[in-house]
């Protein structure tokens, strides 16, 4: 029950941030670029989630099995000693976006190989020498929760292929897709699709 409950907290919080805070700030010209949206998600998540959650910007991890070294997912969300959310963001309102590499990273992390692997997300300073620091037993490590949430955020031109993502077969589960586009000068689309809706549409 705890796992389901914390996933609901993360998902509901992200949806509210997307549809309320980020939509409002974009409409008023206060966020325009992807890095600003990333920072806004960080700020709002820190303000909204209970204190036992932590939010990480671009932690560096290695997935050598998939030839992915030093990758930096946009945001990690942790609860106690578990990673409960991994987010990638593509926010380019007037452009087409390439989602393939982001989706590949999210899918690779779902591989059972990483079920019991620990990922170092933070480093308590021990030494000015990196080789010494990286081996410290005090570094902050987390394991993937059994049912952690993959989150993909896309805001692009309305005819971008990335906006058809829920139709792709390779998406990981559970999955939260936050998407949007400019309809016209008076209207914006900020919506979401989650795993249960995707599976229902495919059945």
Mean per-residue pLDDT over the chain, rounded: 89
Place of tokens 């990690």: 76
Contact 147, 3 (CB under 8 A): yes
Task: pLDDT band for 64, please (50, 70, 90 cuts).
Answer: confident
Which burial class, exposed, middle or buried, applies to 28 when counting CB atoms under 10 A from its CB (0-12, 13-18, 19+)?
exposed
CA-closest candidate to residue 2, choices 119, 106, 80? 80
- Report the pLDDT averaged over residues 85-114: 89
Confidence of residue 203 (pLDDT cuts 50, 70, 90): very low
Q: Is the CA virtual torsion 126, 120, 41, 188 positive or negative?
A: positive
Give pLDDT tens digits for 130-174: 889 988 989 899 999 988 999 999 999 999 998 987 666 678 889
- What the block records as the tokens of 89 is 């963001």
The answer regarding whether domain 2-118+148-202 maps to CATH 2.60.40 reads: no
Residue 19 buriedness (CB in 10 A; 0-12 / 13-18 / 19+):
middle
Determine what percent of the chain is predicted with pLDDT higher than 90. 61
Domain coordinates of the chain in residue numbers?
2-118+148-202
Residue 202 pLDDT: 47
Give the pLDDT of residue 168. 65
Higher pLDDT among residues 134 and 129, named by residue: 129
Q: Residue 10: is its pLDDT beyond 60?
A: yes
CB 149 within 8 A of CB 85: yes
pLDDT value at residue 1: 44
Q: Is 79 helix (H, G, I), strand (E, B) or coil?
A: strand
> pLDDT (tens digit, 9 = 90+) per residue, 101-111?
898 888 888 87
| Residue among 85, 151, 149, 90 nearest 121 (CA) | 85
For the ranges 11-20, 43-52, 156-165, the lowest mean pLDDT is seen at 156-165
Token digits for 197? 């809706």
């Amino acid at each position: 029950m705890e796992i389901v409950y914390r996933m609901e907290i993360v998902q509901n919080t992200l949806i509210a941030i997307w549809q309320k805070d980020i939509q409002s700030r974009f409409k008023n010209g206060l966020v325009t670029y992807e890095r600003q949206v990333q920072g806004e998600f960080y700020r709002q998540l820190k303000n909204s989630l209970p204190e036992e959650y932590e939010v990480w910007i671009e932690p560096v991890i290695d997935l050598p099995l998939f030839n992915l070294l030093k990758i930096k997912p946009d945001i990690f969300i942790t609860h106690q000693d578990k990673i409960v959310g991994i987010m990638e963001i593509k926010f380019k309102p007037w452009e087409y976006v390439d989602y393939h590499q982001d989706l590949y990273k999210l899918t690779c992390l779902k591989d059972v190989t990483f079920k019991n692997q620990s990922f170092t997300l933070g480093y308590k300073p021990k030494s000015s020498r990196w080789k010494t620091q990286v081996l410290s037993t005090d570094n902050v490590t987390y394991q993937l929760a059994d049912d952690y949430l993959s989150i993909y955020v896309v805001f692009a031109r309305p005819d971008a292929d990335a906006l058809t993502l829920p139709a792709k077969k390779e998406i990981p589960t559970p999955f939260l897709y936050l998407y949007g586009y400019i309809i016209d000068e008076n209207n914006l689309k900020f919506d979401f699709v989650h795993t249960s809706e995707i599976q229902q549409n495919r059945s």
